[in-house]
Amino acid sequence: MTDTLSGKRVAFLATDGYEDSELTSPWQAVTDAGATAVLVSPASGSIEGKNGHEQPVDLASDAADAADFDALVLPGGVVNADHLRMDEASVAFAKAFFAQHKPVGAICHAAWTLIEGDVVRGRTLTSYPSLTTDLRNAGATWVDEEVVVDEGFVTSRTPDDLPAFNAKLIEEFAEGKHAKQTA
């Protein structure tokens, strides 16, 4: 355990149907680095991943304020991302991190929520390959790489990329705000 992220609060934005490892692995990484992780969701009580992991919800999306956090992680999962992109409060919450120049990590299908928030235009990122056309149509440059960092915006493709994703999350979150991380 290190204290690289000591004193930092990291929001995780997810709902039912998230990819279990894409929530649990980054959660463990940031808490092991000393951060406090907080689950934000449009659901109440707890949420369930596609493989059965349950995670208690700490804060409702419509009550969450990006100003109260240092960074954001968006786990993937088709159902999770599809539901989040249809929830105005969740999209606004995610978009606010970009407006406040705070680091954001998104893996797999999570980029759908960010497309909805119109924060990928002009950015270079990766995702699950089926989002390639969606991202390009939204103005992003999509690349097929294990992990991509673009001014505090960390993206990866699948659970296979979690070791690299987690390492870059810790690095970017420790650096803090990035002037070119914008909405």
Residues 124 and 174: beta-carbon distance below 8 Å: no
Tokens of 52: 């059965």
Residue 3 domain-assigned (yes or no): no
CATH number reported for the structural domain that contains residue 82 in this entry:
3.40.50.880
Domain of 94, in residue numbers: 9-175
Residue 135 domain-assigned (yes or no): yes
Per-residue pLDDT at 181: 79
Instruction: Decide if 83 is catalytic.
Output: no
The string of DSSP codes covering 98-150 is: HHTT--EEEEGGGHHHHHHTT--TT-EE---GGGHHHHHHTT-EE---SEEEE
Tally of domains within the chain: 1
Residue 156 domain-assigned (yes or no): yes
Per-residue pLDDT of the chain (183 residues; tens, 9 = 90+): 568 999 999 999 999 999 999 999 999 999 999 999 999 999 999 999 999 999 999 999 999 999 999 999 999 999 999 999 999 999 999 999 999 999 999 999 999 999 999 999 999 999 999 999 999 999 999 999 999 999 999 999 999 999 999 999 999 999 998 887 776
Instruction: Decide if 108 is catalytic.
Output: yes
Residue 183 domain-assigned (yes or no): no
Catalytic residue (one of 53, 101, 109, 178): 109
Catalytic residue (one of 53, 83, 101, 108): 108
